[in-house]
């Protein structure tokens, strides 16, 4: 017990994106059955296999191979069910099995409203920042594809995969009445926010943090979070979002904040889809130099605002420690 507690304490010098203080979470009161890093990878690969493979098999068993003919509300309900059964439930079972006490690994205490406000301001800034980045990224991808046969072939394959994933996602967002709209919000925003945050920022990041510095625990979790969404053009923005969610979980010592942030991010996407009535906010096929210059300007501006907010959040928690 003493050896685990001693080994699990991170060094005091942390990465620059996180405050220079010991990790805020306490190690579990009982010795874990296996290494926390191994426990984290069990969550990553076990959750991935269960949700992507077992969830896919269940969906095909219910609706058949041709999902285009399946009822949309049925697909939404099966999506909700697979998120709960194959992401949320495994995270809780792994935490109980390996650490003995779910609440010591997955904390959902409610922080002060000021903490919520600070982090919500961050997601409001981060959304246009990542949209500008996507335009810049896709502009240069298009230019590279125009000048390289090999890169163009790779982009063609990525486009096919991206279109397939996007078609599935957008089908879930189509709603013809109020009931379906509420179901869309549950399917796209509420359930994923709860299930994915409990698994990624709760069980997985927390497990990594018992043996790693908080920054690396959050970054590794964010990378797998991004990969798990199978979005080839959105992988870096998804990793950035995951890292911010991890930062919020670390600073607030609670999953409540990243759950709210995750919900708002997905809800904004649903809202913008219904307002703009467009299949994609940023196309992967962009070539306008004037729009590129505007996107670069917005990217720099919102990056500065976001950096300033991160400093503000760190100062806020530093002042809380001295009160």
Query: What is the rounded average pLDDT of the residues 165-185?
Result: 87
The fraction of the chain above a pLDDT of 70, given in percent, is: 87
Return the pLDDT at 277. 63
Please tell me the distance from the alpha carbon of residue 132 to that of residue 129, in angstroms, as a whole number.
Answer: 5
Residue whose C-alpha is closest to residue 94's, from 198, 215, 242 = 198
Whether the predicted pLDDT of 94 surpasses 70? yes
Whether the predicted pLDDT of 185 surpasses 90? yes
Span of 100-104, 110-114, 120-124 with lowest mean pLDDT: 100-104
Residue whose C-alpha is closest to residue 222's, from 207, 202, 206, 200 = 200
Cα 197 to chain centroid distance, Å, stands at 7
Per-residue pLDDT tens for 187-245?
Answer: 999 999 999 999 999 999 999 999 999 999 999 999 999 999 989 999 999 999 999 99
Please tell me the distance from the alpha carbon of residue 95 to that of residue 203, in angstroms, as a whole number.
Answer: 7
Which position has the token pair 């996180």?
18
pLDDT bin (cut points 50, 70, 90) of residue 322 is confident
- For the chain, give the secondary structure using H, E and C: CHHHHHHHCCCCCCCCCCCCCCCCCCCCCCCCCCCHHHHHHHHHHHHHHHHHHHHHHHHHHHHCCCHHHCCHHHHHHHHHHHHHHHHHHHHHHHHHHHHCCHHHHCCCCCCCHHHHHHHHHHHHHHHHHHHHHHHHHHHHHHHHHHHCHHHHHHHHHHHHHHHHHHHHHHHHHCCCCHHHHHHHHHHHHHHHHHHHHHHHHHHHHHHHHCCCCHHHHHHHHHHHHHHCCCCCCCHHHHHHHHHHHHHHHHHHCCCHHHHHHHHHHHHHHHHHHHHHCCCCCCCCCCCCHHHHHHHHHHHHHHHHHHHHHHHHHHHHHHHHHHC
pLDDT bin (cut points 50, 70, 90) of residue 6 is very low
Return the pLDDT at 130. 95
Whether the predicted pLDDT of 169 surpasses 90? no
Query: What is the rounded average pLDDT of the residues 250-273?
Result: 94
Q: Model-level pTM?
A: 0.87
- The residue that leads in pLDDT, 11 or 142, is 142
Per-residue pLDDT tens for 122-133?
Answer: 999 999 999 999
Burial of 13 (0-12, 13-18, 19+ CB in 10 A): exposed
Whether the predicted pLDDT of 23 surpasses 70? no
Per-residue pLDDT tens for 26-79?
Answer: 555 556 889 999 999 999 998 888 888 888 898 888 888 887 788 999 999 999
Residue whose C-alpha is closest to residue 265's, from 242, 285, 295, 283 = 242
How far is CA 249 from each of CA 49, 195, 303, 308, 309, rounded to the nearest angstrom?
Answer: 25, 15, 21, 19, 16
Whether the predicted pLDDT of 287 surpasses 70? no
Return the pLDDT at 188. 95
Break the chain into its structural domains and give their ranges.
2-101+113-322
pLDDT bin (cut points 50, 70, 90) of residue 323 is low
Whether the predicted pLDDT of 4 surpasses 70? no
The fraction of the chain above a pLDDT of 90, given in percent, is: 58
The mean pLDDT of the chain is: 86
Return the pLDDT at 261. 97
Return the pLDDT at 8. 45
How far is CA 243 from each of CA 140, 160, 217, 258, rounded to the nearest angstrom?
Answer: 24, 28, 9, 10
Task: Write down how long the chain is.
Answer: 323
């Amino acid at each position: 017990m003493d050896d685990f507690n001693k080994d699990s304490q991170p060094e005091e010098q942390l990465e620059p994106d996180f405050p220079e203080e010991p990790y805020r979470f306490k190690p579990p009161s009982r010795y874990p059955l296996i290494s926390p890093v191994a426990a984290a990878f069990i969550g990553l690969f076990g959750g991935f296999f269960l949700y992507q493979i077992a969830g896919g098999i269940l969906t095909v068993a219910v609706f058949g191979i041709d999902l285009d003919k399946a009822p949309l509300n049925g697909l939404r309900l099966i999506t909700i069910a697979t998120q709960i059964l194959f992401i949320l439930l495994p995270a809780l079972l792994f935490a109980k099995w390996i650490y003995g006490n779910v609440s010591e690994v997955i904390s959902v205490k409610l922080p002060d409203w000021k903490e919520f406000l600070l982090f919500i301001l961050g997601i409001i800034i981060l959304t246009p920042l990542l949209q500008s980045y996507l335009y810049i990224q896709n502009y240069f991808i298009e230019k590279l594809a125009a000048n390289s046969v090999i890169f163009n072939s790779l982009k063609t394959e990525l486009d096919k995969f991206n279109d397939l994933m996007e078609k599935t996602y957008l089908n879930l967002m189509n709603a013809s009445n109020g009931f379906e709209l509420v179901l869309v919000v549950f399917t796209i925003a509420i359930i994923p926010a709860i299930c994915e945050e409990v698994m990624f920022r709760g069980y997985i990041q927390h497990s990594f943090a018992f043996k790693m510095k908080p920054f690396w625990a959050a970054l590794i979790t964010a990378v797998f979070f991004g990969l798990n969404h199978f979005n080839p053009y959105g992988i870096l923005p998804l990793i950035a979002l995951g890292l911010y969610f991890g930062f919020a979980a670390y600073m607030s010592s609670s999953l409540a904040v990243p759950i709210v942030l995750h919900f708002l991010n997905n809800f904004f996407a649903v809202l913008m889809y219904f307002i703009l009535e467009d299949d994609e906010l940023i196309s992967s096929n962009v070539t306008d130099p004037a729009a590129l210059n505007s996107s670069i300007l917005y990217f720099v501006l919102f990056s500065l605002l976001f950096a300033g907010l991160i400093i503000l959040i760190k100062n806020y928690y530093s002042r809380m420690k001295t009160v």
